[in-house]
A and B are shown apart, each in its own frame.
Chain A
Amino acid sequence: MDFGNILSLALGEIVTPTTAAYALAALGLAVHFGYSGLLNFGQAGFMAVGAYGFAISTLTFKVPFVVGLLIALLSAVIFGLLLGVPTLRLRADYLAIVTIAAAEIIRYIVTTNTLFRITGSADGLSTFQREFDSFNPFPPGTYIFGWSNRDFYVRVVSWLVVILCAVIVWLLMRSPWGRVLKGIREDENAVRSLGKNVYAYKMQALVIGGILGALAGLLFTLPRGSVQPANYATELTFFLWTVLLLGGMSTVLGPIVGAMIFWVVLSLTQNLLAGLIESGAITFLSIVQAGQLRFILVGIALMLLMIFRPQGVFGNKKELAFA
């Protein structure tokens, strides 16, 4: 068993585009839940809307990259508005149920065979990343950690997007606009009594977090050049919640650090278990079961975090919406 290799694989997870995508999607959840108190259990749906919005407009309508990007974001805005209208005036758990239902509706629709020509059904879509790749400014060669120029390019782009979004969210949350959101998180009636249009603020927060989710969907799919519906099931949303709770939900850095911890730990446990099984030290597990064991641990971690450390690893308990 090569511990050095296992460790370097795990550390490599810190900067993968997938980690960046998780960080960005969890940042969207932070805008929803951490700052505004909105229970979005359908972030996977926003990611799918972004990914498919881009892939379909690129493949079926042959639009250029920028237009595809705009369509993806616009789809997320519309999706957010559709979800917000029936639920934002109701109790918090209605939004939870409706968002999870809407995310599943999206997944069913992109999976159905009926729309195979457009969505590729269960196989998904691929080869929509060519124009994105053509923007790669780095000449072929080997870059730090032995990455190819494309590996390097997608990492740079992913993390630039994450940093840019994090800065914007940070600026928004320290503005008076963010203050109103935090007020709503604690007591929306009080904010209403101060003359603020709570409904409009919640809608704005839902849409902004959704846009971050859609961007995350792009970061998730562009580097690998394919999108499959199976990746956008409810589990994805639940992993994002774990990421959010790991890092701390009312901070900007929390979701980013949370995503890094999440993937490093997943990679470490997978490779350690696999190594132990291959070397014969563990005989009661199969490799497949080892993978499942990790997700059992994710579920347990989510419960324990919520119960014992809801402010996350770095969050400030005093600024937490509930305790």
Chain B
Amino acid sequence: MSGTNGQNPDNIDYMTDTRAIAVGENLPGCKKRDPIVVADNVTRNFGGISAVDVEHLEIPRHKITALIGPNGAGKTTLFNLLTGFDTPNSGSWTFEGNNIAGVSSYKVARMGMVRTFQLTKVMGKLTVMENMRLGAANQPGERLSKALFKNIWGGREREITKHADVLLEKFKLDTKKDDYAASLSGGQRKLLEMARSLMVRPKLVMLDEPMAGVNPALTQSLLDHIKNLKAEGMTVLFVEHDMNMVRHIADWVVVMAEGRIVAEGPPAEVMKDPAVIDAYLGAHHDVDLGDAEGIRELEAELEADEESIVGTEDAGIIAPEAIEARLEEEEGK
């Protein structure tokens, strides 16, 4: 698979495509030039508390979109709703123009909208290769009526295995293919889950916190894999806490807080958005950022850390100036 497969009639290199993503201004709920998912008025309540209340959201095609927000902002719930794993109180959404509200999760996946989970779901008691094969589509042997006849499904099984071998090699799991998945490390499981979701050659890959619990040594390789997905013509939507990652790979950022979408735009822009700062500071009462000295100490520490964005122009919401401005504003009230 490459950037010039059949799905790309315009012969555009998605990695260097710089056309504007949004139509008009980068406002929450803005229209996109080429959306793959369009959601309207999606709400979900848990015992009277509104977990998700999204008026309008479009996910741009062939882009990497990050869905960020403080804990409890409703990101994972929105994921679950869009993929059919949870039922909304109201709302409708389309995937590639097809209305998929109320469609079962497995049908959504078959349409090419594939997800991973925050808590990795690999089948520990199946081998890595069996996990991969399980991800494949169009295996006639998965029908009960044909399962007994290997001559019917054996050919497809070989194709699937070949495809799985390629993916496993790409994800550096080829040496582990006959091991039980339970023996993999947390990061390797994340890789396996991602590789498995690619077995169906999806159009939209939805990753729920792909970096959570991953050994830093594997982080870079995961980032590269996600960027590769875009190069191969897929659309990526991911939930993440790690701003570093968002900054590095996302083309577009959607910020959620208390179930609503509060900001949208390219990463650099969004991270300076006061609404985003609000959302994050509002949700982190436990972080004592009121003490100016504490902030400077933290800043010094972070600036020394190469991985940190503090002290660079990407600092965005956690730049000391931004926080101080915010504190002053609060005192002024």
Q: Which A residues are within 8 Å of any B CB, using their own CB?
A: 168, 171-172, 175-180, 182-183, 186-187, 189-198, 204, 208, 318-321
Contact = CB atoms under 8 A, between A and B. Distances in A.
Nearest to A316: B125
B125 A191 contact: no
B125 A320 contact: yes
5 closest pairs, A vs B, by CB? A190-B121, A177-B147, A176-B141, A195-B109, A175-B147
B141 A183 contact: no
B144 A176 contact: no
Interface stretch (B45-53, B129-137, B269-277, B296-304): B129-137
Given A195-B106, A196-B142, A190 B122 contact: yes
A186 B122 CA distance: 9
A194 B200 contact: yes
A176 B139 CA distance: 7
Contact of A195 (B123, B137, B141, B150): B137
A308 to B, nearest CB: 19
B105 interface: yes
Contacts of B114: 193-195
12 contacts: A172-B148, A176-B133, A179-B133, A179-B142, A182-B123, A189-B121, A193-B121, A194-B134, A195-B106, A195-B114, A197-B106, A318-B125
A318 B178 CA distance: 13
Contacts of A176: 133, 139, 141-142, 147, 153, 157
B106 A180 contact: no
Contacts of B124: 186
B150 A191 contact: no
B247 interface: no
Contacts of B153: 175-176
B123 A186 contact: yes
Nearest to A182: B126
Interface string B108-128: 011000111100011111100
Contacts of A182: 123, 125-126, 130
A189 to B, nearest CB: 7
Given A172-B148, A193-B115, 16 more contacts: A176-B139, A176-B153, A177-B141, A177-B147, A179-B142, A189-B117, A193-B105, A193-B114, A193-B197, A194-B106, A194-B134, A194-B135, A194-B197, A195-B106, A195-B107, A319-B125
Interface residues of B, number: 39
Contact of B117 (A168, A190, A318): A190
Nearest to A250: B125
Contacts of A195: 106-107, 109-110, 114, 137, 200
B238 to A, nearest CB: 15
Taking each of A175, A177, A197, which has the highest tally of chain B beta carbons within 10 Å of its own beta carbon? A175
Taking each of A171, A172, A189, A196, which has the highest tally of chain B beta carbons within 10 Å of its own beta carbon? A196
Contacts of A178: 147
A211 to B, nearest CB: 12
A251 to B, nearest CB: 13
B142 A192 contact: no
A116 to B, nearest CB: 40
Nearest to B110: A195
Interface string B160-187: 0000000000000000000010100000
Taking each of A171, A178, A187, which has the highest tally of chain B beta carbons within 10 Å of its own beta carbon? A187
B43 interface: no
